[in-house]
Structure 1
Amino acid sequence: MELILDEAILKAYGFSKNTVTLQQIGSGLINRTYLLLAPNQQKYILQNINAQVFHNPLAIAHNISAIADYLKANDPDYLFPAPIATLNGSLMATHNGEYWRLLPFVSDSVAFDTLNEPKQAYEAAKQFGKLSLLLNGFDTTRLSPTIPGFHNLALRYEQFTFTLGQCSEPSKKEAEQAIAMALQYHFILAYYHSYEHRHDFPDRVIHHDTKISNVLLNETSHEGVCVIDLDTLMPGKFISDLGDMLRSYTCAFSENETNLELIKIRLPYFKATIQGYLSTMGAILTSTEKELILFSGKYMVYMQALRFLTDYLNGSIYYPIAYPSQNLDRAKNQFKLLKEFFANEKVLQDIIEDCLP
């Protein structure tokens, strides 16, 4: 793949193309990421922020900087891979409307794209929970939303109903079954509304994108090292983090799997995720939050199903596709997973009760 990188970006950090080696890495679809090898053999991560997704990249820089300062003052031993300032002290390098940052390379670590054992789910959940725990005293009003409404289910349902009224009849007919399920599970939003204003359902500093590839594990022991990809670190409810872990860790197959018979909840991975998260956050979760642990998975699965379905009805303008109906297939996949959460509700809740401190 051709390397598209202006020399001015490297100069901002004191490098040049003649003295460094760059290799594009990572499986992310949003930001371009490079491994940078400096002349002294020091490694760094150089990353471009996608301004089409993050409309205010400086808000990301501000959030991460404020949190880095807080952690340095309160938990200096915690590994928080904050960006390195440019030579002139800027939080990002900018050139021709693009935003770049340089990050320290964390040695002896690995990021997985898929889970291979429950221990990895445990360690990942523990790391995401640890970050929120350490930031429990941080004033969330100091942070700016980097993607407004990112996990706002009311907004996602509104977008779905609006698109449903605007889309073509053939698309609506093709998606008839998925549309019926979207409407059937609308009560999940009403259930959330019944809790959202409780005094013990606080806003916390939440990562919001807790897929397994966003946490580094030790490359030999697979013990947790640190959380990465901090672009969506902003105020939110705990259900965003735990729910997305339950959504993405507990099934052996991704949302691209079209054989719905394979979409099932792996109980050992579910238990490991709950245990890992509660090993850190269990000490501070409120009564309401503990009550909503299982609901967090339902909430996030339903929202993701809505987003895939809405994108399909909208002509697949957001999620990349390999064939025309892929986003509809993804929506069906997530609705099947949601059905599994309800079908196994008692056994899942029993696991949670056994894990609660």
Structure 2
Amino acid sequence: MENNLELIFSQFNTGCHLLECGRYGSGHIHETYKIETEGSENFNYILQKLNRNIFRDIPSLQSNIERVTSHIRNKLSKTGVSDIDRRTLSLIKTCEGHLWYKEENGDCWRMYKFISDHRSYDIVDTPGKAYQGGRGIGRFQAQLADLPLPQLNETIPFFHDIENRLETFWQTVTNDPAGRVETAKNEINFVKDREEVMKTIKSLGSQGVIPLRITHNDTKFNNILLDSDDNALCVIDLDTVMPGYVHYDFGDAIRTAANSAAEDETDLGLVYMDIEL
């Protein structure tokens, strides 16, 4: 694999030579590697093999990220920010000028500059960190409030469409493919009792009461990098940035920021909502 990674890395326009590489991070979707280099620039990089089972339209995905990061970079530049490469993701194009590299077998890869001197937390343990996470997401949304048309691509159709999710849920209950309906009646009734409330945001949006904005749509806490003083630095994992409602980002942020355990914790006795956070 290392030899293959070296070949893939060489397809990107860096002016550097791969020195070391290894798996990086706790993400579940893409294969992510940290690349350490030697050369005139001597940057480190994040190289990712994209999950085409989830993101089936790679051109639209990468186009979104290019537009979003370029817009933020321009804004930061106009306000005199000096460390722009730490404040937003920096896509590295291939030697041929493309936003991703496609192997002959169809695998697609992209690369970013590695953001130095950052901290990332899977679990939030202080209100101060929770505040900085919210601050980072709020700033990200504000930076994209004037992103010019055309609208961003929908990278995962119906991602936060509660009506679509409920329709799928009730179809599954009816079909009962795993034979669990009888033992899950309490959970099913829990959903049924709250079904109309869950549709509120979508309904208000359809009525024009709340505006459609550009939202991140995957605001778990480790997607907000903090600096060495635990201040909001940069929002990452931009795969699901697309039109949405700010309530989506708030709700998804609470899912992890106020959670006492990791999102994949199997011991449910450890999982509760910390209201202080």
Shorter chain as denominator, the TM-score bin is 0.7 to 0.9
Q: Residues 68-107 of structure 1 correspond to what in structure 2 (within 5 A)?
A: 68-76=69-77, 77=81, 79-95=87-103, 96-107=105-116
Q: Which residue of 2 aligns with 1:301?
A: none
Q: Please give the per-residue CA displacement for 1:76-96, whole angstroms capped at 9, x wherever unaligned.
A: 235211311111111111112
Q: Residues 219-234 of structure 1 correspond to what in structure 2 (within 5 A)?
A: 219=228, 221-234=229-242
Rounded to whole Å, the distance in 2 between the matches of 1:15 and 1:141 is 30
Matched-pair identity in %: 27
1:203 correspondence with 2:212: yes
The structure 1 residue matched to 2:176, chosen from 167, 172, 178, is 167
Q: Which residue of 2 aligns with 1:248?
A: 256
Q: 1:141 to 1:16 in 2, by over 3 A?
A: closer
How far off its partner does 1:196 sit?
2.0
Q: Please give the per-residue CA displacement for 1:268-298, whole angstroms capped at 9, x wherever unaligned.
A: 21xxxxxxxxxxxxxxxxxxxxxxxxxxxxx
Rounded to whole Å, the distance in 1 between the matches of 2:135 and 2:188 is 36
Q: 1:212 to 1:100 in 2, by over 3 A?
A: same
Contact 1:43/1:105, CA 8 A, preserved across alignment: yes
What secondary structure sits across from 1:75 in the alignment?
helix
Q: Residues 196-345 of structure 1 correspond to what in structure 2 (within 5 A)?
A: 196-219=205-228, 221-254=229-262, 256=265, 258-259=267-268, 263-269=271-277
Counterpart of 2:158, as a letter, is G
Rounded to whole Å, the distance in 2 between the matches of 1:146 and 1:89 is 22
Q: Residues 22-101 of structure 1 correspond to what in structure 2 (within 5 A)?
A: 22-40=21-39, 41-76=42-77, 77=81, 79-95=87-103, 96-101=105-110
Q: 1:15 to 1:107 in 2, by over 3 A?
A: closer
Contact 1:140/1:205, CA 8 A, preserved across alignment: no
Rounded to whole Å, the distance in 2 between the matches of 1:246 and 1:223 is 18
Contact 2:118/2:225, CA 8 A, preserved across alignment: yes
Q: Which residue of 2 aligns with 1:176?
A: 185
User: Number of residue pairs matched?
Assistant: 266
Q: Please give the per-residue CA displacement for 1:152-211, whole angstroms capped at 9, x wherever unaligned.
A: 100100000111111247311122221111111112234335412243411111111111
Rounded to whole Å, the distance in 1 between the matches of 2:199 and 2:243 is 22
What secondary structure sits across from 1:235 in the alignment?
strand
Contact 2:48/2:109, CA 8 A, preserved across alignment: yes
Counterpart of 1:69, as a letter, is S
Q: Which residue of 2 aligns with 1:115?
A: 124
Q: Which residue of 2 aligns with 1:134?
A: 143
Q: TM-score, normalized by length of structure 2?
A: 0.87
Q: 1:249 to 1:84 in 2, by over 3 A?
A: same
Q: Please give the per-residue CA displacement for 1:113-138, whole angstroms capped at 9, x wherever unaligned.
A: 11121111111111111011011111
Q: 1:123 to 1:86 in 2, by over 3 A?
A: same
Q: 1:176 to 1:88 in 2, by over 3 A?
A: same
Rounded to whole Å, the distance in 1 between the matches of 2:100 and 2:171 is 37
Q: Which residue of 2 aligns with 1:354?
A: none
Q: 1:213 to 1:141 in 2, by over 3 A?
A: same
How far off its partner does 1:25 sit?
0.9
More helix by share: 1
Rounded to whole Å, the distance in 1 between the matches of 2:102 and 2:111 is 12
Contact 2:161/2:202, CA 8 A, preserved across alignment: no
Unaligned residue ranges in structure 1 (runs of 5+): 270-357
Q: TM-score, normalized by length of structure 1?
A: 0.69
Q: 1:168 to 1:53 in 2, by over 3 A?
A: closer
